[in-house]
A = this chain, B = another copy of it.
Amino acid sequence: MYAIPLDDTGAELRPLEPWHAEEFLAHLDRGREFIGRFIPFGSQVTDVDSARATLQRYADLRAADKASHHGIWSDGTLVGGVLTLEFDAASGNCEVGCWLEPAASGRGLITRAMRHLIDWAVEDRGIHRVEWVAASGNVPSLKVAERLGFTRDGIRREAHQWRGERHDLEVWSVLAPEWRSARDAHKKR
């Protein structure tokens, strides 16, 4: 029902919901290797039932105002998404994350989707500090964070166990006043 246009090619941001189970499975099957280099996102989704179960967990987190998941559709196909997690309106903190199929990269879709998501968190929900966490080796992700105006707070050493290795997790953040400045600067460009 709801959609936010992301560019001129018809790419849209829409809430991701349990009834998208079959699309979600197909999308994860296409992007599994690429998405799974650094993050466990979607690794438990192997068939329609597990796709539905995962999306239902997201729906329940949404109802509890602890997270929200938004899919990016391009030409009617689900190709990635952005999300808030550890959303704590009372403390003014939340984390944001993203994932994308390889075929949809290079078009700035994540960056554009993130601008809408973080605007909502900061302006509508009163979030003061937005956090971005990625493995040190996940350069594409960290580049988007930097492009959006996040700065690095530090490195949680060996905090991430994935595929047999322990990876460092970089913690980046942007504060509400910084976000507004970055947004104003971006609009003038």
- Report how far A23 CA is from B56 CA in the complex, Å: 28
Residue of B nearest to A131 (CB): B156
Task: Show 20 A/B contacts (Cβ-Cβ < 8 Å), sorted by A.
Answer: A1-B117, A1-B120, A2-B3, A2-B15, A19-B65, A19-B89, A59-B63, A60-B63, A90-B161, A91-B160, A92-B161, A92-B166, A93-B161, A128-B161, A129-B166, A131-B156, A131-B159, A153-B157, A154-B171, A171-B171
Check if B153 sits within 8 Å of A175, measured CB to CB: no
A124 CB-CB contact with B under 8 Å? yes
Residue of B nearest to A168 (CB): B153
- Return A89 CB to nearest CB of chain B, in Å: 7
A158 CB-CB contact with B under 8 Å? yes
- Tell me which residues from 146 to 189 in chain A have a Cβ below 8 Å from any Cβ of chain B: 152-161, 166, 171, 173, 175
- Report how far A161 CA is from B160 CA in the complex, Å: 27
Given A17-B65, A128-B161, A153-B155, 7 other A-B residues pairs in contact with their CB atoms under 8 A: A1-B116, A1-B117, A18-B65, A59-B62, A59-B65, A90-B161, A153-B154
Check if A175 sits within 8 Å of B161, measured CB to CB: no
Check if B157 sits within 8 Å of A155, measured CB to CB: no
Our pick among B65, B91, B120 for the contact of A161 (Cβ within 8 Å) is B91
